[in-house]
Every structure is written in C-alpha cells, then in structure tokens.
Amino acid sequence: MEEPTHHHLRLILFPSPLQGHINPMLQLAHILHSNSFSITILHTKLNSPDPSHHPHFTFLSLDDGLSQTESSMEEDIIELTRLINVKCVDPLRACLRKLLDDQQVSGTGERIACLISDAALYATREVAESVKLRRIVLRTGGVSSFVIFKEIPMLLEKGYLPIQESRLDEPIPEIEGFRVRDLPAMKTASVERYYQLLTSMVEETKASSGLIWNSFEELEHSALDTLCQEFSLPIFLIGPFQKYSAASSDGVRTPDQSSIAWLDKQEPKSVIYVSFGSVAAIDANQFLEIATGLADSNHPFLWVVRPDLVRGLDSECHELLPDGYIEMLGGRGHIVKWAPQQEVLKHPAVGAFWTHNGWNSTLESICGGVPMICMPFFSDQVINARYVSHIWKIGVQLEGRVEREKIVEIIKRLMTGNEGEEIRKTMCQFKEKVQVCTSAGGSSHNALQNFISFIASSSPLDLERIT
Ligand code: UDP
C-alpha cells in the first residue's frame, strides 16, 4: 500500500499557556498525530504540559522570560497574554530558525509543514513570516464570539463599548439578539488594552494561511457565514475535538476520580455539576450563596472548588462553608478540587451543568447533551452564554447578583417544568448533530479530511511565497 503523502510532515504547535487553550491544542495534536503527522509542541515555562502524558510528541520549552510576579498574574489574563506576545517573539524566532536549519541537515526527509499557533498569540504572525514558515491559526473559542470581537472597532466607535452600567439593557441593533450587557467585558489593568488585544487577534488571524476551529457548522453556521464574507482564507470547523480523541489529561491539574464513583451512586439526570473553569474567581459572599443555594435546591450536586476559586483567600475555601454543612448534606453533595470534566458531562447521572460558559465547557456540555445554567464571568463567556440561553436555547442564564433564592429558582426552572423539558429536547438534538458531524461524511469529519489534504498538498515552494 502506498504511504500517505504526509507521512514525513512535522507540525509545530504552539498553545497559549492557559488551561482552556492548552487542552484543545493538545487534542488537536492527537487528532493530527493519529493521521500520521509528527508533532512538536512548543510551550512556555508557565503551565508547561507534562510530556509523559503524550509520549508520541516532541516537547520544546521556550524561555518565556516571565518573572515570577508576571507568571502569577493569571487573574489578569489579558495582561499576561499581552506580555507573552511581547516576550515570546525572540525565543520563538530562534527556536523556529533552529528547527528549520536542523531539518536541512538531518537527512531524514522529514519536513516542517507549518506552525499552528493559538489565535491569542497574535505575535506569531510576524515571527512565522520572518522565518518563512506557513502559519495556521487555531481559535480555541467559538466562531460566534469571534464575529462579535471583529465588531469591536464599530462597538467602540458607536459608544456601546466600554460598557456603561446605565446602558446594560439597551439593545444593539447591529447585533441581533444582543444587549450591551452581552458584550465582552473584562476586569483588567486597562480595558483599552483588552479591546486592542482582541482586535490584534482578529487582524492577525485574518492574515494567517488557514484557520481551524474547535466547533461544528451545524451549531455556528450563521456566524460562519458572516465570517466568510470578510475572511477569504481556508476555514476548517473540525470540532468538537473531544469526539475524535479520548479525554486526555494535560497533566497541568490532576482530576479527582472520586467524582465518577460518587456519580455512579446517583439517580439518572439528577445531579447539578458546578464548575467555573480554570480561571474565573468569586468572592467569599458569592461562595456562601452558591453553597447555600445548592443545598437548598435539594438536588445532588458535584461542585468543583479550585484552591484559587475564592479571590484573596489565605485559608482553604472549605473553611468558608457554614458549620455542619457537609454533615447536613448527608452525601447529597460532593466537592472536588478538579474534576474529570469530559467524563462527568458524559455520565448518565448528570442533569445540568452550572457553568461559566468557557468555550470548552460549553462544547463539552453539548457533547454530553447536558443543559446549562449559564453564569458567565468575562470576555467570550458572556457571548457564549447569550448564544446558549437565547439563540441555541440549550440553557438558562442566571443574571445579576448571585443569591441563594435565585439559585434554587433557576435550578427548578431547568430541572422541572415545561421550559426545562423544551431545553432538554433541543440539547438532545444538538448532541445528535455532534454525532453526525464527526462521523464519516459529516461536516467536521469532511473538514478534517480537507485540512489534512490542505497541509499535505502544500509544497515547500509555498513557503517561499508567503514573504
Ligand atoms: N476542566 C476540567 N476539570 C474541572 C474544570 C475544568 O477538566 O474541574 C476542563 C474543562 O473540561 C475544559 C477546561 O478545563 O476543557 C476549561 O476550559 P474552558 O474553556 O471551559 O474555560 P477556561 O478555563 O478557559 O475559563
């Protein structure tokens, strides 16, 4: 049998060092590796993945030049991302030059086909061009939020941004179904820098040779149509990635497997799974309201309480729980520091996901067919939540202050009653669409085949042309 033409192609992948960005990049790496590409993962020192979880890949650490204080700025991810874009330019250039030089002399016949970098690492455009390497972008968020990011200059010009408290409920005629409160916001050192970063991300993505999304056409066709009107580059929606590769841990955090043993003991579709991702933080009062609301809901719940979930706390979060809380629950609640989320969302006992609507969590919920209670914190989460609750209608949104009574009410709304029933039905349809689109002949499956041909067919000469 003839060897696949891409058998000797190496792909260099460079994820942004945030959990929600590392996971999908590694999943993509697994998908491409299982299609005969060789994989090199470049990573920063900050949040470096554990190579022992991925023995088939080559890992190269870049000196990110971040000081200890800068690395611990995960709460201000905008400032952190901006710094990485500044500080990684030189080490990345040196690393790529070396890899390209080595391939010339190695004599193995292996060729570096391209760099696949995270959209948030917009500075990679200039670096890839300077070493004449083709650059493909992976956007780890959704298409729907990206097309709103694209409108930021317009939203600034018309005064919708930066968001003013007094205008939160004002509709935005330019974006159907959106109000001012549904626009991206962020607590960061400078909101102007935040909007500038998003605009750079959009512009430098537009200038790439191809664009991959962890999403699927059936979910985001209208945003995709909008995008294609302005972006004349090859676009590949090949997600959800998790459907191709088994849930793989990146080794940055260790999931607590007791979550699954506990779920095994619960009734079908009875459990509320609560997790706000890897970055979002709450204050002590919100923590207490959530704990009490969950207890008062009378539903079993699995709650991820990361050690850094409560802002500015020196002690363990558990110490904030009311006296006798755990005993009072009598096993009805299970609290872990980190859960095997993809497995949790596929578990038959899970009936709802109270989420911050990070894109990975949103997609994982759709893959598991689990309706959502949306409580976005910042940036694209706000847009995703609006899509989930008002456009796709696969969840309900908890708006305003976090209060125990509101929590009890929204859980009831989703878990019982007609509205919840409709939402569950719609979610089931999306889950089936995921199955179809990732099977042979489906849209994501076809897009993956197209992407593989796209990479494999580009001759080394193409690299000369992108200067
Ligand atoms: N996650 C996990 N265990 C947890 C919480 C989160 O494995 O207890 C994973 C989740 O499956 C997802 C990622 O962390 O893949 C979070 O990404 P997302 O885009 O949802 O949010 P972010 O962390 O970027 O805000």
User: ω into residue 15 within 30 of 0, thus cis?
Assistant: no
Query: pLDDT tens digits for 133-174?
Result: 999 999 999 999 999 999 999 999 999 999 999 999 999 999
Query: How many angstroms is it from 21 CA to the middle of ligand 1?
Result: 9
Provide mean pLDDT across the span 83-89: 95
- Looking at residue 466, what is its pLDDT? 42
**Cα 195-17-369 angle, rounded to 5 deg:** 85
> In 107-231, where does DSSP find H-type helix?
124-130, 143-149, 152-157, 191-206, 217-230
Q: Can you tell me which atom of ligand 1 is nearest the CA of 21?
A: 24
| CA 249 – CA 237 distance, rounded (Å) | 23
- The more confident residue out of 108 and 262 is 262
Question: Which residues, 6 or more positions from 400, have their beta carbon under 8 angstroms from its beta carbon?
Answer: 406
Return the percentage of the chain with pLDDT > 70, whole number: 94
Q: What is the pTM of this model?
A: 0.94
User: Residue 376 half-sphere exposure, CB side, CA atoms within 13 Å?
Assistant: 25
Name the strands in the sheet holding 235-237, side by side, starting at the edge strand that comes first in the sequence. Answer: 58-62, 38-44, 9-14, 111-118, 135-139, 210-213, 235-237
| CA 275 – CA 353 distance, rounded (Å) | 8
Q: Can you tell me which atom of ligand 1 is nearest the CA of 361?
A: 20
Return the percentage of the chain with pLDDT > 90, whole number: 82
Query: pLDDT tens digits for 64-78?
Result: 888 877 777 666 889
| CA 155 – CA 125 distance, rounded (Å) | 26
| Residue 18, φ and ψ in degrees, nearest 5 | -105, 145
Query: How many angstroms is it from 307 CA to the middle of ligand 1?
Result: 15
The protein residue whose alpha carbon is closest to atom 15 in ligand 1 is 360
Provide mean pLDDT across the span 35-56: 92
Provide mean pLDDT across the span 8-13: 95
- Looking at residue 74, what is its pLDDT? 65
Residue 4 has pLDDT above 60, yes or no: no
- H-helix or E-strand spanning residue 68: helix 68-71
The whole-chain average pLDDT of the chain stands at: 93
Provide mean pLDDT across the span 95-104: 93
- Looking at residue 188, what is its pLDDT? 83
**With the CA atoms of 410, 416, 417 and 420 taken in that order, what torsion angle do they form, in degrees rounded to the nearest 10?**
70
From the list 338, 323, 245, 278, the residue with the least C-alpha distance to 31 is: 245
Residue 406 has pLDDT above 50, yes or no: yes
- Looking at residue 7, what is its pLDDT? 62
The protein residue whose alpha carbon is closest to atom 6 in ligand 1 is 277
- Local confidence band at 316 (pLDDT 50, 70, 90 cut-offs): confident
**Cα 290-291-297 angle, rounded to 5 deg:** 85
Helix (H, G, I), strand (E, B) or coil at 294: helix
Provide mean pLDDT across the span 345-365: 98
Residue pair 88/44 in contact by the 8 Å Cβ criterion: yes
Could you tell me the domains of the chain?
A: 9-244+438-457 (3.40.50.2000), 258-434 (3.40.50.2000)
Residue 462 has pLDDT above 60, yes or no: no
- Looking at residue 344, what is its pLDDT? 98
- Looking at residue 73, what is its pLDDT? 67
**With the CA atoms of 321, 327, 329 and 333 taken in that order, what torsion angle do they form, in degrees rounded to the nearest 10?**
70
Q: How far is CA 115 from the centre of its chain?
A: 20
Q: What residue ranges line ligand 1, CB within 6 angstroms?
A: 18-20, 23, 255, 275, 277-280, 304, 338-339, 341-342, 358-361, 364
Give the burial class of 71: count Cβ atoms within 10 A of its Cβ; 0-12 exposed, 13-18 middle, 19 or more buried: middle
- Looking at residue 195, what is its pLDDT? 96
Provide mean pLDDT across the span 419-442: 97
Query: How many angstroms is it from 315 CA to the middle of ligand 1?
Result: 24
| CA 250 – CA 41 distance, rounded (Å) | 12
Query: pLDDT tens digits for 115-143?
Result: 999 999 999 999 999 999 999 999 999 99
- Looking at residue 448, what is its pLDDT? 97
Interhelix angle for 284-297 vs 404-415, to 10°?
Answer: 40
- Looking at residue 248, what is its pLDDT? 55
| Residue 267, φ and ψ in degrees, nearest 5 | -70, 150
Provide mean pLDDT across the span 331-358: 97
Q: What is the CA radius of gyration of the chain?
A: 22
- By residue count, the chain amounts to 467
Residue pair 332/271 in contact by the 8 Å Cβ criterion: no
Query: pLDDT tens digits for 373-405?
Result: 999 999 999 999 999 999 999 999 999 999 999
Query: How many angstroms is it from 459 CA to the middle of ligand 1?
Result: 37
| CA 16 – CA 338 distance, rounded (Å) | 21
Q: Is the dihedral of CA 322, 327, 332, 334 positive or negative?
A: positive
Query: How many angstroms is it from 65 CA to the middle of ligand 1?
Result: 26
**Cα 208-214-217 angle, rounded to 5 deg:** 95
| CA 374 – CA 166 distance, rounded (Å) | 23
- Local confidence band at 417 (pLDDT 50, 70, 90 cut-offs): confident
- Local confidence band at 464 (pLDDT 50, 70, 90 cut-offs): very low
- The more confident residue out of 295 and 249 is 295
Provide mean pLDDT across the span 16-45: 94
